[in-house]
Amino acid sequence: MKTLFKALVFAVLASLSVTALADGHTTLRVVSVSTDDIGAYVAELRKGKQMMAKLSPKMEMRAWQATFAGEEAGSVIVALEYPGSLSAFATAWEKTLADKKMAEWLEGLGGVRELVSDSIYRELSL
C-alpha cells in the first residue's frame, strides 16, 4: 500500500505545472480520501475550487482517482498546489480558512468522503 501511495504521489508531482514565485519553490498539499459517491464528491470539489479561486487565486486544486490500483482502486487524491514557500502556503491557507463559507464547506466534506491521509510537500530544487 505504501508503494502504491508513493507511486500516486509521484504521478501527481510529475503532472503538476510549476508556477513558481521568485524563490522557485512550490508547496503541495496532498489529501487522500475514500468516497462511496464520486459524483457528489467531485461536485463538492468544484464548489470549493470556485470559492478558493476568490480567496487565494494562486492556489490550484486538482484531483485524481485511482483506476488501476488493486485495493486502492477508486481512491481519490486531491492536491492543492501553491507557488511559494511553506510559510507562504500557510499564510494563504489561514486566509482561506478564515472565510466562513469555506470553513462550512470544508466541514461538510465529511459527509461525502473519509479522510485517509493529509500531507504537505515542499519542492526540492533539482
Domain at 2-8+21-122: CATH code: 3.30.70.100
Q: Tell me, what's the pLDDT at 15?
A: 43
Determine the Cα–Cα distance for residues 89 and 45; give it in Å rounded to an integer: 19
Q: Check residue 17 and give its pLDDT.
A: 40
Which pTM value belongs to this model? 0.76
Chain segment 21-30, per-residue pLDDT in tens: 345 689 999 9
Point out the residues of the chain with pLDDT beneath 50. Answer: 1-22
Q: Where are the domains positioned within the chain?
A: 2-8+21-122
Question: Alpha carbon of 44 to those of 38, 47, 95: distances in Å?
Answer: 10, 5, 20
Question: Distance between alpha carbon 126 and the CA centroid of its chain, in Å?
Answer: 23
Neighbouring residues of 25: CB distance < 8 A, sequence distance ≥ 6: 83, 84, 85, 122, 123, 125
Per-residue pLDDT of 48-59, as tens digits, reads 999 999 999 999
